[in-house]
Chain A
């Protein structure tokens, strides 16, 4: 019961037969969506980004554990997560940065690049939504520090067409690090 309440709705599987080929119109449209999204976020156009979200958004980043090879499928924990968000809480995160003078964790803002690669797009059975898998390498430069915080992850998204445009309905972020190597996830992945 608690597990059901805590865990996000399971994502539909990525079925090989449902793969939408690279270079097709739909694939290109998805790619443009991801690139444009990265550009908005990198340039702090957060209000604009929030308009890409559906009202039933689920946005999560599970914890990870170091376990043996045979337990590889048990390395994710989806009850307590690093991010466990819905539409309202994502809007609050945006508002904290856009509407206050004291979102110190990102003010002054980090300089960030969201490098999006390895994009794969799948049709979902019995649905018009698209499942999109991508790799993201987020590089974060903060203050005058001479190092970058790197946040490599895989994203599993559900994109839905609303009023003709693609919107983000689900995102699960699978982080590589067990111990996150940046002082906070005050940035949007």
Chain B
């Protein structure tokens, strides 16, 4: 493959042949081409900030988990100084995997091959039989540490990048931060994971999951129709005859320069049902009291009200971001699920880890605020497991779809078929929408997903 700014695949196809920026189409081949996969690992996963987990997974010094940054295994560990470090999980001696465990606690990671030892922060401690100097004298101990990634912690989320001198994490978030703060930074104590993540394998390219997670609203109508047939969105009196999720499709969609996107779905109907009042006659505070954000109780509200601007609170009470992504491979859900116990919030985070051109690992974390009362946490967790992740009644339909797209990307004819993103917002921004970024108003459209592909293309064609 010719790795110029417009990469040429070995059969002569240019990357620019696979995407039509005018008609908003992407050829299926782009989904699962092995050469493009290699390039994605270099130009996307080794360059952008990648989500790895939550700092509450490793609360104590020496705690570690093993995670993936693209196709590379990394150690995410808490060092002796209490900071979170991310290092390549590969021994600089002969390339053995340093930790073969998923999780644990140690201040000394010892490679089982030749015994080289490293601190949680990646520093080289030494090799066995120090006086015989197994590591030689040509390189200093400083040079023999694990390769260290640059780390950013945001709202407890751990991100890392190999792009040591590259853009800051704030720059990476860009306009999304204004919205993401209302999700990840709502309370003084912050969030916690309710346990380790679920993990499972899907024989599908990572992009099938990730372009969908860039706020594909339309698929919900069909793929997740059961939600309104027998599920939590079944309308009273529509026994068996439901099946229309159209009302859930209205709101605001936000897409930002670095392809972080979100669907801000309107809460007015829920608030009207809960209060019996016209939401336009209620104050922001009254609305938030009637339907607090997922994991927040009315008692926790004063803290939330104190932390945000009036504009942000207005969005939180009216059209909060409920599903969305962070580029390249993260998805978040902050959804309000009708249940016999009232509306229960569910907060989940997914990483879709690329495992080769035709395989991804789905990693699903379920979270709550640290201050969320335990009985509510338990309900959120149960509902999260029932709807999302491994056995989730919603997401099992997604995971069964992506493999078919991946197979279609291989067909001699079907690899030339295009995926189309031609449903566009026409009157973009709603008058008075207070948040930044590109904004579409009304029924869901394809602009958010198209932004995802535009940014994918931008990174894939960037000069090194």
Contact = CB atoms under 8 A, between A and B. Distances in A.
B374 A1 contact: yes
A67 interface: yes
Interface in B216-250: 222-226, 229-231, 240, 243
A99 interface: yes
A91 to B, nearest CB: 10
B320 interface: no
Nearest to A62: B195
A183 B200 contact: yes
Contact of B199 (A71, A88, A180): A180
B386 A82 contact: no
A60 to B, nearest CB: 9
A82 B393 contact: no
B297 to A, nearest CB: 15
Interface in A37-75: 61, 63, 65-68, 71
Contacts of A178: 102, 199
Interface stretch (B147-155, B170-178, B255-263, B376-384): B376-384
B101 A82 contact: no
Contacts of B60: none
A74 to B, nearest CB: 9
A82 B385 contact: yes
B378 A2 contact: yes
Nearest to B381: A6
Given A80-B196, A183-B202, A67 B378 contact: no
B390 interface: yes
Contacts of B399: 105, 183-184
B193 to A, nearest CB: 8
Contacts of A61: 391
B386 A67 contact: no
A14 interface: no
B198 A80 contact: yes
Contacts of A67: 101-104
Given A67-B104, A82-B198, A92 B231 contact: yes
Interface in A110-150: 142
A99 B386 contact: no
Contacts of B391: 61, 82-83, 184-186
A184 B401 contact: no
A96 B199 contact: no
A95 interface: yes
A110 B112 CA distance: 42
A84 B385 contact: yes
B366 interface: yes
Nearest to A83: B391
B35 interface: no
B377 A65 contact: no
Contacts of B195: 6, 63, 77, 79-81
Contacts of B243: 102
Interface of chain B: mostly helix, strand, loop or mixed:
mixed
Contacts of B385: 80-84
A105 B226 CA distance: 11
Contacts of A2: 194, 374, 377-378
Interface string B333-367: 00000001000000000000000000001000110
A77 B381 CA distance: 14
B230 A179 contact: no
Interface of chain A: mostly helix, strand, loop or mixed:
mixed
A185 B393 CA distance: 9
| Most B CB within 10 A of own CB, among A65, A180, A184 | A184
Contact of B197 (A80, A89, A101, A102): A80
A99 B378 contact: no
A104 B397 contact: yes
B285 interface: no
Nearest to A5: B378
A20 interface: no
Given A79-B381, A96-B226, A179-B361, A184 B198 contact: no
B1 to A, nearest CB: 30
A172 B104 CA distance: 24
A178 B103 CA distance: 12
B194 A99 contact: no
Nearest to A61: B391
A5 B378 CA distance: 6
Nearest to B386: A89
B464 interface: no
B382 A180 contact: no
A84 B386 contact: yes
Contact of B230 (A92, A106, A181, A182): A92
B395 A71 contact: no
| Most A CB within 10 A of own CB, among B194, B199, B375, B392 | B199
A59 B381 CA distance: 15
Contacts of B440: none
Contacts of A106: 396
Contact of A84 (B226, B361, B382): B382
Nearest to B222: A102
A102 B375 contact: no
Contacts of A71: 104
B309 interface: no
Contact of B390 (A1, A5, A82, A86): A82
A75 B103 CA distance: 10
Contacts of A142: 400
21 contacts: A1-B374, A5-B374, A5-B378, A65-B101, A67-B103, A68-B101, A68-B104, A77-B195, A80-B193, A80-B196, A82-B390, A84-B381, A92-B393, A93-B393, A102-B224, A103-B226, A180-B198, A182-B201, A183-B204, A184-B390, A184-B395
5 smallest A-B Cβ distances: which pairs?
A80-B195, A105-B396, A184-B396, A79-B195, A180-B200
Given A66-B102, A80-B196, A102-B229, 8 more contacts: A2-B377, A80-B197, A84-B382, A92-B386, A92-B393, A93-B386, A102-B222, A103-B397
